[in-house]
Amino acid sequence: MSQSISLKSEHKANELFTTFYVGNDFFGIEVMKVQEVTGSPRIISVPLAPKFVRGLINLRGQLATALGLHELFENKIQNTENQMSVVCKLDGNLVSLIVDSIGDVVEVNGKNFELPPDTLPPNIKPFVKGIYKMEGQLLSVLDLSRIGKELSPTMEQNVS
């Protein structure tokens, strides 16, 4: 991925990210990968599903699977009010990432990119593709394909 970023930075030094917060942590997804951001939707829970699968959402007649990033990252800070949904398309399926709050769309420069440090907590690290150093804070770029793997159980079996 770092390769494609460097490639892009040749044409256009800056990249746009949709940013959001999970607890106090600051995350971002490439703008082009986000379909839309909606307010807290009505989630139909799916009994027996893993905890991080919050349920299904009716997104204007299409089904989206709601993933609680809070639960996925095992974030300790409790905040379930005013959660927002970031809708992305993953392997042809709609996925709604439930986040605590939405930030701005930020423009970052490829030269401020760095791989995530090894000491990140193990439940977050696999999902972070890299870090952008911004003024005042660090932006963690989410690896959507890794989250997609979490949703395809065959891959999980390979790991175990």
Partner 1 sequence: MAHVLKLLTENQYTQEKVENIYRDIHSLKGAAFLYSFNEIGVLAHKMESQLEAVRDEVRAPTKIEIDAFYIYLHRIEKHLKEIFSDNENGNENPEKGKLAQEVPQAVINKEKMSSELIPKIEKMELDKIQPQQQVKSKEKEAEGNSTIRVAVSLLDNLMTLMGEMVLVRNQVLQFSSQSEDLEFLNLSKRLNVVTSEIQGEMMKTRMQPIGNILNKYNRVVHDLSSELHKEIHLSLFGSETELDKSLLESIKDPLTHIVRNSCDHGIETPDVRLKSGKNKFGTIAIKAYHEGGQVVIEVSDDGKGLHKENLIKKGLERGIITSAQVPNLSEKEILNLIFAPGFSTAESVTSVSGRGVGMDVVRTNVERIGGSVELESVAGKGTTTKLKIPLTLAIVPALIIKCSGETFAIPQIKLEELVRVDPSSHENKIELLHGVPVYRLRGRILPLVSLNNVLKLNSDKEKNQAYNIAVLNADHCSFGLIVDEILDTADIVVKPINRLLKSLQVYSGATILGDGSIALILDIVGMSKTVQLANDKDAGHSSEVNSKNQLQNIHRDFQEFLIVRLNSPTMHALALNDVYRLEEFPITRVEVTNKMRVIRYGQSLLPIISINSLMGYGNENLEKNEKVRRKETLSVVVVEKAGLLYGLEVDEIIDTISTDIVVETNLALQKGTFGNLSMPDQVIIVLNAFEIINLSFPETTVKPVFNSGYSSLVSAKGKNLQILLVEDTVFFRRELSKILKSDGHEISIANDGMEALQILESNPTKFDLIVTDIEMPRMNGFELAKSVRGNKALSAIPMLAISSKADKNYTDKGLKAGFDIYIEKLKPETLLKAVATLSLPRKVA
User: Of 10, 12, 24, 47, which one interacts with partner 1 (CB under 8 A)?
Assistant: 47
Q: How far apart are the first and last CA of the chain?
A: 25
Nearest residue (CB) to partner 1, 24 versus 160: 160
Residue 32 near partner 1 by CB under 8 A: no
Q: How far is the CB of 140 from partner 1 (least distance, A)?
A: 17
| Short-list 63, 100, 94, 93, CA closest to 79 | 100
Residues 111-140 that bind partner 1 (CB under 8 A): 121-123
Residue 65 near partner 1 by CB under 8 A: yes
C-alpha to C-alpha distance for 87 and 96, rounded to whole angstroms: 4
Site mask for partner 1 (CB under 8 A), range 11-30, x = bound: --------------------
**Cβ 96 vs Cβ 41: under 8 Å:** yes
Q: How far is the CB of 23 from partner 1 (least distance, A)?
A: 16
**Cβ 27 vs Cβ 110: under 8 Å:** no
DSSP string spanning 146-157? HHHHHH-HHHHH
Q: How far is the CB of 44 from partner 1 (least distance, A)?
A: 4
Nearest residue (CB) to partner 1, 5 versus 151: 151
Q: How far is the CB of 122 from partner 1 (least distance, A)?
A: 4
Residue 76 near partner 1 by CB under 8 A: no
Q: Angle CA(160)–CA(50)–CA(86) in degrees, nearest 5?
A: 110
| Short-list 124, 67, 126, CA closest to 95 | 67
Q: Which residues bind partner 1 (CB under 8 A)?
A: 42, 44-50, 53, 56-58, 60-63, 65, 93, 121-123, 150-154, 159-160
